[in-house]
């Protein structure tokens, strides 16, 4: 099972958020800087566990976009059936 940690405290703006998620996913094929690329990477990576930390801080730093990231993660987990989200 693939594992990654998304630390929302690193999400100071959109670019930083995508960079942090790309670094966390490493070799798992997320190469874009948008939510569509994130969704595609997550739904094609097979069994995976994504742990989300500091989500409240991320929401403070980038407001609505953090909510869109969370919605994308939840949608990808539901649609793939292979991705498990853990929110701490």
Give the percent of the chain with pLDDT over 70. 95
Count of domains observed in the chain: 1
pTM for this entry: 0.88
What does the alpha-carbon distance between residue 47 and residue 3 come to, in Å, rounded to a whole number? 9
**Cβ neighbours, 10 Å, residue 68:** 14
Question: What pLDDT is recorded for position 68?
Answer: 92
Question: What pLDDT is recorded for position 28?
Answer: 72
User: Residue 26 sits in which domain range?
Assistant: 2-87
* Residue 7 or 33, more confident: 7
Question: What pLDDT is recorded for position 37?
Answer: 92
CATH code, 17: 3.30.370.10
């Amino acid at each position: 099972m693939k594992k990654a940690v998304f630390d929302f405290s690193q999400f100071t703006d959109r670019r930083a958020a995508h960079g942090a998620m790309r670094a966390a996913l490493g070799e798992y094929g997320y190469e874009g800087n948008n939510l569509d690329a994130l969704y595609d990477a997550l739904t094609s990576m097979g069994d995976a566990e994504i742990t989300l930390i500091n989500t409240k801080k991320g929401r403070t730093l980038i407001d609505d976009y953090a909510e869109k990231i969370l919605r994308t993660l939840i949608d990808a987990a539901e649609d793939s059936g292979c991705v498990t989200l853990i929110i701490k």
